[in-house]
Amino acid sequence: MGKLFFYVALALVLVSGVLFAPETAGLAIHPMDQFTVTPLFGGDHIAWYTPTNVTLWMFFAVVAVFALLVFGSANRGIVPSRAQSVAELAYGFIYKMVEDVAGKDAVKFFPYIITLFMFIVTANFLGLIPMSFTTTSHFAVTGLLAVVVFVAITITGFVLHGVKFLGLFWVSSAPLALRPVLALIEVISYFVRPVSLCIRLAGNVMAGHAVLKVFAGFAGALGAASFLPIFAITAFYALEVLVAFIQAYVFTILTCVYLKDALHPSH
């Protein structure tokens, strides 16, 4: 059955080059068009409350999280179903990450961190659906996530440790002459953190999707052989699935690392 399905799909791929060939061959590469924010119900003015495709796909992310973590665990089975074991896996994965990286006393931040992780990972995966819109490819989205993390962690640090939190920048193990220089570097690197968090996530996702579109754009110039980019896209798509997860993981684990700095600022 699987074999039959495979051969039918392969035949469709081969025929598609003939069926869907453009009238005039030529490169038509618009890698950035997929990121356009458009209002859902017509009109071209986008106010802050307008329901756009951003709204739609963020809603799908909420639905996916709800389906996985709430419906999945609805049976409360001692022996888990498949959805429930994925939900438990996600829970255990993030819980262990928070506990291992940020320390035992960071567990009270666990709900916030798993919120971040679940949103990013579902948005990344939903963005991989063809014709979908990838919310995490926008600097506005990832920038807000990064700024929320940055502000929350800075406030936590000052609330818990007061002025001593600034000791994070004062490397007491270095020679005295070097300390001001190191402090400057530490301050800069501290403020680069949200920028790098934001750019890393959006850049990775955007780069992957743009490359997929570039490969797809080659099809227009290849005529009957336009099925060839499909193989490249398939391979790259697999890599993108990996990247979608790893970037969510990296964002979360870096949040945990920064949280550890805020909880235990001694350098």
Partner 1 sequence: MATTTHDAGHGAADAAHGSSGMPQLDFSTYGNQIFWLLVTLVVIYLILSRVALPRIAGILNERQGTITNDLAAAEDLKAKAVEAENAYNKALADARSEAQRIVAETRAEIQVGVDEAIAKADAEIAAKAEESEKAIAEIRATALDNVKIVASDTASALVAALGGKDDTDTIAAAVAKRTEV
Partner 2 sequence: MEGDLAYIGAGLAGMGTGIAALGVGNVAANFLAGALRNPSAAASQTATLFIGIAFAEALGIFSFLVALLLMFAV
Residue 129, helix vs strand vs coil:
coil
Q: Name residue, tokens 């009109």.
A: 43
Residues near 244 by Cβ (< 8 Å), separated by ≥ 6? 121, 124, 125, 127, 128, 205, 208
Of residues 46 and 225, the one with the C-beta less far from partner 1: 46
Residues near 35 by Cβ (< 8 Å), separated by ≥ 6? 133, 134, 137, 138, 206, 209
CA–CA separation, 118 and 141 (whole Å) = 14
Q: What are phi and psi of 204, to 5 degrees?
A: -60, -50
Residues 207-266 contacting partner 1, CB under 8 A: none
By the rule CB under 8 A, 97 interacts with partner 2: yes
User: Two tokens at 174?
Assistant: 């270095």
Smallest distance, Å, CB 75 to partner 2? Answer: 32
Return the residue of 14, 46, 188, 246 that touches partner 2, per CB under 8 A: 246
CA–CA separation, 148 and 182 (whole Å) = 26
By the rule CB under 8 A, 37 interacts with partner 2: no
Of residues 29 and 182, the one with the C-beta less far from partner 1: 29
How many residues bind partner 1 (CB under 8 A)? The answer is 52
- Give residues in contact with partner 1 (CB under 8 A): 27, 29-30, 32-33, 35-37, 46-50, 52, 54-55, 58-59, 61-62, 65-66, 69-70, 73, 76-78, 80, 84, 87-88, 91-92, 110-112, 114-115, 118-119, 135, 137-141, 144-145, 148, 202, 206
- Give residues in contact with partner 2 (CB under 8 A): 32, 97, 100-101, 196, 199-200, 203-204, 206-207, 210, 246, 249-250, 253-254, 257
